[in-house]
């Protein structure tokens, strides 16, 4: 993109007295888009200061000597920051077109209508910025802020297209979030093969131990009975 020319903000100091000279204090806040000192190319003889309470830069001079009824103009040269970059507008158009290509069926016409309106407004923004406003920096700033507001609304429309595109992608064979969650729940309810064999092994081990206990108890009981019978015969 070609480099944009600097812009000039006019600050006017006036001596209202028609009879005597006097000193006038000059103070003018710069637009809020001036966010750094390097955006100010020239202050026209005024001092550049920063208001921490309002987070704004301003130009200032305490005592400007003016003759009776004199009007003096100070020209503040600024780097032009009051335009939406062409790359941003083109990127948004391309993004919209890609999303539209993913939409089929009845939703296509709805998305196409939204996209047509978005592209039309993007074109209007581009046209408004091509107008030459010699010496009308305040009007350019107003246009820029209006364009930024419109752009914010357009991005909300783009979000609508994105939602339609995502819904279309899911309808074309993708698994939706709720379905995936339900499958995950069902899967988590089924024990794994390893867990199943572990349970079987523990049950078999328990049965084996229990059987061995009964066997040894039976053997011990038999031996006790034999001893009792032997004692009975001896007596």
Could you read off the pLDDT of 133-188 as tens digits, one per residue? 655 788 889 999 999 999 999 999 888 888 877 877 776 655 443 343 333 333 33
Per-domain residue ranges of the chain:
7-78, 86-181
What is the gyration radius of the CA atoms in the chain, in angstroms?
Answer: 43
Question: Do residues 171 and 42 lie in contact, with contact meaning Cβ atoms separated by under 8 Å?
Answer: no
Q: Residue 69 above 80 pLDDT? A: yes
Cα-Cα end-to-end distance for the chain: 124
pTM of the model: 0.64
Q: What angle do CA 10, 127, 156 make, to 5 degrees?
A: 100
83 Cβ contact list (under 8 Å, min separation 6): 4, 129, 144
Strands (E), 67-111: 71-78
Q: What is the DSSP string of 174-209?
A: PPPHHHHHHHHHHHHTSPPHHHHHHHHHHHHHHHHH
Question: Do residues 164 and 112 lie in contact, with contact meaning Cβ atoms separated by under 8 Å?
Answer: no
Question: Do residues 115 and 96 lie in contact, with contact meaning Cβ atoms separated by under 8 Å?
Answer: yes
Q: Report the CATH number of the 7-78 domain.
A: 2.60.40
Which of 26-35, 76-85, 98-107, 188-197 bottoms out in mean pLDDT, i.e. has the lowest? 188-197
Lateral strand order in the sheet of 7-14: 7-14, 71-78, 40-42
User: Residue 187's pLDDT is what?
Assistant: 38
Comparing 111 with 3, the larger pLDDT belongs to: 111
Q: Distances in Å between the alpha carbon of 230 and those of 220, 223, 233, 235?
A: 16, 11, 5, 9
- Residue in 87, 122, 109 with CA at minimum distance from that of residue 161: 109
65 pLDDT tier (thresholds 50, 70, 90)? very high
Q: Residue 215 above 70 pLDDT? A: no
Could you read off the pLDDT of 180-211 as tens digits, one per residue? 333 333 333 444 556 566 766 677 776 776 66
């Amino acid at each position: 993109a070609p480099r944009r020319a600097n812009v000039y903000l006019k600050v006017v100091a006036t001596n209202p007295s028609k009879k005597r000279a006097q000193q006038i204090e000059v103070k003018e806040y710069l637009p809020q888009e001036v966010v750094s000192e390097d955006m100010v190319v020239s202050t026209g003889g005024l001092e550049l200061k920063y208001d921490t309470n309002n987070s704004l830069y301003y130009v200032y001079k305490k005592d400007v000597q003016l003759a009776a009824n004199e009007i003096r103009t100070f020209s503040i040269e600024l780097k032009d920051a009051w335009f939406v970059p062409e790359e941003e507008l083109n990127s948004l158009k391309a993004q919209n077109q890609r999303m539209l290509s993913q939409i089929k069926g009845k939703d296509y016409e709805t998305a196409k209508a939204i996209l047509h309106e978005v592209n039309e407004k993007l074109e209007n923004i581009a046209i408004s910025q091509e107008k030459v406003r010699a010496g009308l920096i305040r009007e350019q700033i107003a246009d820029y802020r209006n364009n930024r507001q419109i752009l914010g609304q357009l991005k909300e429309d783009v979000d609508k297209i994105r939602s339609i595109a995502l819904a279309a992608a899911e309808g074309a064979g993708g698994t939706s979030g709720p379905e995936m969650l339900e499958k995950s729940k069902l899967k988590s309810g089924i024990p794994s093969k390893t867990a199943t064999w572990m349970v079987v092994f523990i049950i078999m081990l328990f049965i084996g131990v229990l059987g061995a206990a009964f066997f040894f108890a039976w053997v011990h009981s038999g031996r006790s009975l034999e001893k009792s019978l032997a004692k009975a015969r001896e007596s």
